[in-house]
Every structure is written in C-alpha cells, then in structure tokens.
Amino acid sequence: MTATDHAIELVHAAARAASDKLATQIIAFDVSEQLAITDAFVLASATNDRQVKAIVDEVEDKLREIGAKPIRREGERDGRWVLIDYGDVVVHVQHEEERAFYALERLWRDCPTIQLPADVTSHER
C-alpha cells in the first residue's frame, strides 16, 4: 500500500506553503506501510519560534484553500514543535534544535520519501 493521491496532494500543498515561509529541511515520507493512522509525514524546520508559527499558519491557510481542515493541532503554545494532523497527512514543523534532537528522519528512514514539486525550495541558513 502507498500514500493515496489525496495524501500526495496535501503533502505537496503543505511543502509549498512551508517553502513560501522559508522553511528549511523540507521532506516528506510515505508512512502508509508502517502506520495505519496516516499515509504521510511532512517535516519542515524553522530557525525561531515566530517562524514556526508563520509556517504553521501558512500550511493551514493553503490546505484550507483546497478543502482540508486539521483534525487536531499540538504544540502551538510553545512554538518549538507543532504537529498538524489532517488524517491522511501529519505535518511536523519543528524548531531546528528540536529537529536535530528528535531526528524524525532517522526514525522513518526505512520509509520511502515522497518527491516534492520542483517549486519547493528547502531554504538553508
């Protein structure tokens, strides 16, 4: 089983939104073989708490435009690691320090990555 077309559409929209707000290290994993609860993860990093919030706001705005509403959101108050659950896709926006510490890429490295659109730029500091 692989991620659905709808999940891929959400991944692409979330990655574009993160890129628009200058997120770094944007990557997406197809976790459908490993998890029954979601098809894909999108990971994006930010250099500070305000940028985390800006990326989260942009992701929510862009996904709302295509009819997706989050089921739940966690971590918004601290602004260090915000998780937005859309059912088919879970978006993780992390401060760079949390990204390095929790290293979700290592945890999910056995899962295939989802190719992101060419207009998604993973901005580097």
How confident is the model over 33-66, as pLDDT tens digits? 999 899 999 999 999 999 999 999 999 999 999 9
Of all residues in the chain, what percent carry a pLDDT higher than 70? 97
Q: What is the pLDDT of residue 55?
A: 97
pTM value is 0.94
Q: What is the mean pLDDT of residues 94-120?
A: 94
Determine contact, residues 92/11, Cβ cutoff 8 Å. Answer: no
CB atoms < 10 A from the CB of 44, how many? Answer: 31
> How far is CA 62 from its chain centroid?
13
Q: What is the pLDDT of residue 124?
A: 64
pLDDT digits (tens, 9 = 90+) for 73-85: 999 888 899 999 9
DSSP 16-40: HHHHHTT-EEEEEEE-TTT-SS-SE
User: How confident is residue 125, by pLDDT bands cut at 50, 70 and 90?
Assistant: low
Q: What is the mean pLDDT of residues 97-120?
A: 94
Strands 40-46 and 24-30: antiparallel
